[in-house]
């Protein structure tokens, strides 16, 4: 079954006896290929759709629940619904969005991404992204090696996280920077540091969170730490992806209700800092996904601090330091950015 053109395409398939035991992503790839031919999504695309919650298990007792497990084995009689989001333009158009440029040369550009700006186009964010702004600013010089929908992008920040980002303008720069981000600083070339405001003061005040991260089983917008046993229960042999965050407490406010914490990444997973700090009992202030359940602590803040937190309206996370080796010249590049106005106002209120 399919919806009208230009809307989301929906397919419902029932697992036949001969297909039982197949991986979910492979089963759907083969089944939709038989139905749609060359128009069917690839296995990589279906894996992404599964992980993003666009594939649901229907039927008695299932409740049409998303199953974010590409490796799950299908069973005879199961009914699976696949929703294909409407396509977005392959090549983002340039849009006149203000850019705060920290540094620029012929090979790359370093910008300050404000909170609220999505990095690249995707489902639900077809335009008005950082990429659209960069296309308008850089024109034809912007590298396309990272994919037409995310030209020049070698790393990303969450929509509501502010801070420093580097973008490649040439293929050579893109390859060089991509290698550095893939190494996550283990080769001594890349350094990234974030300022986070957390509920409570982590103990010890300096430490490392080493916990694998995977997509949450029952909420496609959340990530979660997993253990090998969790992974076994979810039939996920990968056990999530390795994730390591080093943290250091820099200051404490409001009698220890809040801490300013510097986090340095050894890996770069989705929501990594937010998930890891939550895992050790110190979610970020203002985080609507991982910081719920903190109303009692919020009520203990001063009135000014409560107002500043409301005005923040996002997770208190800012990428304040970025260092890398220039992919063309080999020069050591280092950039630092002060806290944005909204986080600075919150800190001042906490200090007051």
Whole-angstrom distance, CA of residue 30 vs CA of residue 34 = 6
Residue 350 tokens, joined: 């906490």
Q: How confident is the model at residue 308 (pLDDT cuts 50, 70, 90)?
A: very high
pLDDT average, residue stretch 80-85: 85
What pLDDT, on the 0 to 100 scale, is given for residue 141? 75
Q: How confident is the model at residue 160 (pLDDT cuts 50, 70, 90)?
A: very high
pLDDT average, residue stretch 253-279: 95
Stated as kind and residue range, the H or E segment containing 15 is: none
Residues 6+ apart with CB under 8 A from 183: 189, 190
Handedness of CA 41, 44, 47, 51 (dihedral sign): negative
CATH for 194-322+331-351, among 3.90.480.20, 3.50.50.60, 3.30.2350.10, 3.30.70.1560? Answer: 3.30.2350.10
Whole-angstrom distance, CA of residue 191 vs CA of residue 166 = 12
Residue with tokens 């037409």: 148
Residue of 25, 34, 127, 158 marked catalytic: 158
**pLDDT greater at residue 280 or residue 89:** 280
Return the domain boundaries, the chain: 9-84, 100-183, 194-322+331-351
The answer, yes or no, to whether residue 150 has pLDDT greater than 50, is yes
What pLDDT, on the 0 to 100 scale, is given for residue 29? 87
**pLDDT greater at residue 68 or residue 183:** 183
- The CATH code of the domain at 9-84 is 3.10.290.10
What pLDDT, on the 0 to 100 scale, is given for residue 59? 66
pTM for this entry: 0.74
Contact by Cβ (8 Å): 286, 314:
yes
The answer, yes or no, to whether residue 309 has pLDDT greater than 90, is yes
What pLDDT, on the 0 to 100 scale, is given for residue 61? 55
Same topology between domain 9-84 and domain 194-322+331-351: no
Stated as kind and residue range, the H or E segment containing 264 is: strand 258-265
SS3 288: coil
> Is residue 158 annotated as a catalytic residue, yes or no?
yes
Of 122-131, 185-194, 227-236, 310-319, minimum mean pLDDT range: 227-236
Domain 100-183 classification at class level:
alpha beta
How far separated are the first and last CA of the chain, in Å rounded?
60
The answer, yes or no, to whether residue 228 has pLDDT greater than 60, is no
pLDDT per position as a tens digit, 164-176: 999 999 888 998 9
- What's CA 252's distance to the chain center, in Å? 28
Contact by Cβ (8 Å): 307, 349:
yes
Cis omega (within 30 of 0) on the bond before 204?
yes
Residue with tokens 């229960």: 233
């Amino acid at each position: 079954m399919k919806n009208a053109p230009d809307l989301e395409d929906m397919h419902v398939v029932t697992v036949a006896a001969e297909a039982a035991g197949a991986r979910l992503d492979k089963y759907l790839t083969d089944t939709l290929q038989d139905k749609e031919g060359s128009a069917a999504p690839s296995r990589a695309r279906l894996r992404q759709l599964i992980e993003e919650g666009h594939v649901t298990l229907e039927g008695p007792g299932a409740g049409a629940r998303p199953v974010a497990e590409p490796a799950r084995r299908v069973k005879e009689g199961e009914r699976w619904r696949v929703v294909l989001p409407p396509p977005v333009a392959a090549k983002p158009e340039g849009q006149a969005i203000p850019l705060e440029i920290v540094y620029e040369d012929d090979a790359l550009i370093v910008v300050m991404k404000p909170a609220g700006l999505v990095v690249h186009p995707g489902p639900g964010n077809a335009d008005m992204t950082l990429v659209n702004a960069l296309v308008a600013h850089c024109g034809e010089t912007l590298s396309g090696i990272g994919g037409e929908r995310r030209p020049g992008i070698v790393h990303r920040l969450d929509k509501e996280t502010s801070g420093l980002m580097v973008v490649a303008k040439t293929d050579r720069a893109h390859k060089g920077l991509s290698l550095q981000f893939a190494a996550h600083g283990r080769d001594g070339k890349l350094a990234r540091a974030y300022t986070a405001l957390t509920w409570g003061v982590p103990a010890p005040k300096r430490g490392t969170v080493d916990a694998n991260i995977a997509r949450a089983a029952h909420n496609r917008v959340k990530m979660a730490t997993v253990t090998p046993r969790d992974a076994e229960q979810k039939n996920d042999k990968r056990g999530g992806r390795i994730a390591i965050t080093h943290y250091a407490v820099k200051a404490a406010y409001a009698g220890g209700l809040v801490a300013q914490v510097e986090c340095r990444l050894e890996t770069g997973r989705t929501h990594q800092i937010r998930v890891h700090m939550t895992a050790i009992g110190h979610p970020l202030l203002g985080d609507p996904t991982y910081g719920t359940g903190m109303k009692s602590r919020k009520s203990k803040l001063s009135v000014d601090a409560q107002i500043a937190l409301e005005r923040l309206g996002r997770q208190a996370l800012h990428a304040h330091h970025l260092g890398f080796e220039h992919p063309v010249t080999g020069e050591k590049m280092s950039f630092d950015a002060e806290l944005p106005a909204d986080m600075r106002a919150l800190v001042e209120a906490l200090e007051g």
